[in-house]
Amino acid sequence: MVPFSWTELWDHDSPAGHRILGEAAEFGLKEGFTVPMVTLDGHSAGLSIAGAMTELPPHLRGPVQMMAIYSFARAAHLRERPPAPVTLTIREADVLHWIAEGKTDWEIARILQVSEHLVDKVARQIKSKFQVVNRVQAVVQAMRAGVIH
């Protein structure tokens, strides 16, 4: 989608465009510049700068487009809900601690006096709870969440 000046809409024979511009003019918005965007999930969005006399010089279109993209990305980030807090069982917390210390499954199994199979199973549960694909990511997410220090 390409940014456009509202005056460019008058050049097209679009009844919807003329209606929108007419409605905007009723509110004193006679000129403007719009940066249309599409979200990752397919929704349309855009940023418009408008007023009674706001024709945007061509050399400012690029910087305004960059500002719009940055603003939209920041607004989308602010709308994100923080992830639900992860709660670990005592066994999961123990295994995660030793993973963070760099221990192997064999070493963790010896320290906790359990089987290597159980250590691997618990590590998979931890990865699932943090929604990550490997143990390093699990440790990082746990540190970010304050689960481990």
What pLDDT was estimated at residue 88?
95
Q: What is the β-pairing status of strands 4-5 and 44-51?
A: unpaired
CB 122 within 8 A of CB 105: no
* pTM for the full predicted model: 0.49
Summarize the confidence of residues 60-78 as an average pLDDT: 84
> Side chain identity at 65, as an amino acid letter?
Q
Supply the mean pLDDT for the chain.
Answer: 87
What would the two tokens of residue 22 be? 């007419």
Q: Identify the residue with better confidence: 21 or 66.
A: 66
Give the model's confidence band at 10: pLDDT under 50 very low, under 70 low, under 90 confident, else very high: low
Q: In which region does residue 4 sit, left (phi positive, over 0), alpha (psi from -120 to 50) or beta (all else)?
A: beta
Domain positions in the chain: 4-79, 90-144
The model's pLDDT over 97-130, given as tens digits with 9 standing for 90+, comes to 999 999 999 999 999 999 999 999 999 999 999 9
Considering the segment(s) 90-144 as one domain, its CATH architecture is: Orthogonal Bundle (1.10)
